[in-house]
């Protein structure tokens, strides 16, 4: 087990299993589920996601005809795109699990634009609603509607009226107060054009003579589609399959496959119980590249106040509500 460091001066340990944002206080389905109008399909999005995935399949056929340096670039850019989502939109902005100085917040905002998963503001709003109203009609990607809906289907239909209604009750004052978030929201389309399409395409062409065609399909289209699906697996697979060592009454589960693919975000049973832990896991850096990244940023003086949960609190919670005879990972 990787050592945790709850006593370190840059890490604050919460002794109670409560979340300042109130996101661990899950609302029960019967409080939200009384109306269920038919889903309205948004055909434009069905078309876009279909073409994107076909283009990603075509991109795979280009791999043998492209340069090894381009493959390396795709992997590196996958990593940084993922970190923009996990260390940025998720752990920093949605859960305030640590603090980041302005240069790091700017860097993460650019990386989050490379992920093209909506701007930080909208991402955070949907994610906070997801935690608070998990598995109800107010959950944007309610996994009780099945794998496909929680994976990508929710982006192909109009949102349930309960999502919009309950979303308006979620506190977003910290987002309004963060100039980096508001500037990224304002210039989102430009930043996506630059970070998701132009930069990843131009680098292999300019620096090692890759064709623009290969660069575009591999570093933009394939990389984007891979990171999208890795992210979506947290909403789908990790809400359906896995272990529940911390709370057996909820659907979010610890799923090692997802933890690997989603750079440390697969300990989802833990994360829904302790959403404010900056490691999103009981095990610190183990199978958790995002935690390593945040730790490196703390070492460089760019991140601080990394919140963790004390081992005693975790143990008590396991004994109270966890699946017995299941190891945490
Ligand atoms: C994408 C997002 O992929 C992925 C998020 C994943 C989250 C994962 C979390 C898991 C944990 C973290 C793990 C990370 C792992 C990473 C691993 C990496 C390797 N509350 O939206 P509209 C308002 S996006 C309150 O049009 P419709 C809104 O402000 C992919 N209000 O709703 C607006 O108000 P106004 C790329 C809300 O019409 C109005 O409602 N993006 C809320 O129902 C209408 O908003 C796309 O493809 C809320 N929650 O349409 C875009 N939400 O009118 C896809 C909205 O006043 N989206 N409002 O301005 C769309 O096209 C549409 O949103 C829609 C719904 C069709 C889905
Ligand atoms: Zn979840
Ligand atoms: Zn979360």
In a domain, 326, yes or no: no
Domain count, the chain: 1
pLDDT for residue 30 is more than 70: no
The residue with tokens 């949907």 is 126
Give the integer Cα–Cα distance in Å for 58 and 217.
8
Residue 270 falls inside a structural domain: yes
* The dihedral formed by the CA atoms of 177, 180, 181 and 186, expressed in degrees to the nearest 10: 110
Separation CA 75–CA 2 (nearest Å): 25
pLDDT 10s digits, 228-257: 999 999 999 999 999 999 999 999 999 999
pLDDT band, residue 5 (cuts 50/70/90): very low
Q: Which of the 8 DSSP states describes residue 96?
A: -
Evaluate whether residue 93 is within a structural domain: yes
Q: DSSP secondary-structure letter at 209?
A: -
- CA 329 to chain CA mean position, Å: 20
Q: How confident is the model at residue 4 (pLDDT cuts 50, 70, 90)?
A: very low
Contacts of 5 (CB under 8 A, 6+ apart): 11, 284, 308
Domain range for 200 = 39-320
**Maximal CA-CA distance, the chain:** 59
pTM of the complete model: 0.92
Cα 199 → chain centroid: 22
Determine, yes or no, domain membership for 214: yes
Q: What is the rounded average pLDDT of the residues 31-60?
A: 91
- Give a yes or no: residue 4 inside a domain: no
Domain membership of residue 18 (yes or no) is no
* CB-CB neighbours of 113 under 10 Å: 26
Residue 101 lies in a domain: yes
User: Model confidence at 141, in pLDDT bands (50, 70, 90)?
Assistant: very high
**Which residues make beta-bridge pairs with 308?**
13
Ligand 1 proximal residues by C-beta, below 6 Å: 42, 45, 82, 85-86, 90, 116-118, 125-127, 129, 140, 155, 158-159, 163-164, 167-168, 227-228, 230-231, 234-235, 262-263, 265
Residue of the nearest CA to atom 33 in ligand 1? 164
Residue 14 lies in a domain: no
């Amino acid at each position: 087990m990787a050592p945790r460091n709850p006593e370190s001066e840059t890490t604050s340990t919460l002794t109670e299993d409560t979340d300042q944002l109130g996101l661990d206080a899950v609302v029960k389905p019967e409080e939200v589920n009384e109306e269920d109008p038919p889903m309205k399909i948004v055909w434009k999005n069905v078309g876009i996601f279909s073409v994107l995935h076909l283009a990603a399949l075509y991109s795979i056929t280009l791999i043998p005809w492209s340069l090894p340096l381009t493959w390396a670039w795709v992997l590196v850019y996958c990593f940084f795109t993922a970190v923009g989502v996990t260390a940025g939109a998720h752990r920093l902005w949605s859960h305030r699990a640590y603090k980041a100085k302005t240069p790091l917040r700017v860097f993460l905002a650019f990386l989050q634009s490379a992920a093209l998963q909506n701007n930080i503001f909208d991402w955070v709003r949907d994610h906070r609603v997801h935690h608070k109203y998990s598995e109800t009609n107010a959950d944007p990607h309610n996994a009780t509607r099945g794998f496909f809906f929680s994976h990508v289907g929710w982006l192909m239909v109009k949102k349930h009226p309960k999502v919009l209604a309950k979303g308006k009750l979620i506190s977003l004052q910290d987002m309004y107060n963060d100039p980096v978030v508001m500037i990224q929201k304002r210039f989102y389309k430009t930043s996506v054009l630059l970070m998701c399409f132009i930069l990843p395409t131009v680098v292999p062409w300019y620096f090692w003579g890759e064709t623009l065609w290969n660069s575009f399909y591999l570093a933009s289209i394939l990389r984007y589609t891979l990171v999208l699906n890795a992210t979506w697996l947290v909403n789908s697979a990790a809400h359906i399959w896995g272990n529940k060592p911390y709370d057996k009454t909820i659907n979010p589960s610890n799923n090692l496959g997802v933890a690997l693919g989603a750079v440390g975000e697969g300990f989802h049973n833990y994360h829904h119980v302790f959403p404010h832990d900056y490691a999103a896991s009981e095990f610190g850096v183990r199978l958790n590249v995002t935690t390593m990244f945040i730790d490196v940023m703390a070492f460089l003086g760019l991140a601080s106040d990394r919140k963790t949960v004390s081992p005693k609190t975790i143990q008590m919670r396991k004994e109270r509500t966890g699946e017995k005879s299941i190891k945490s990972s």
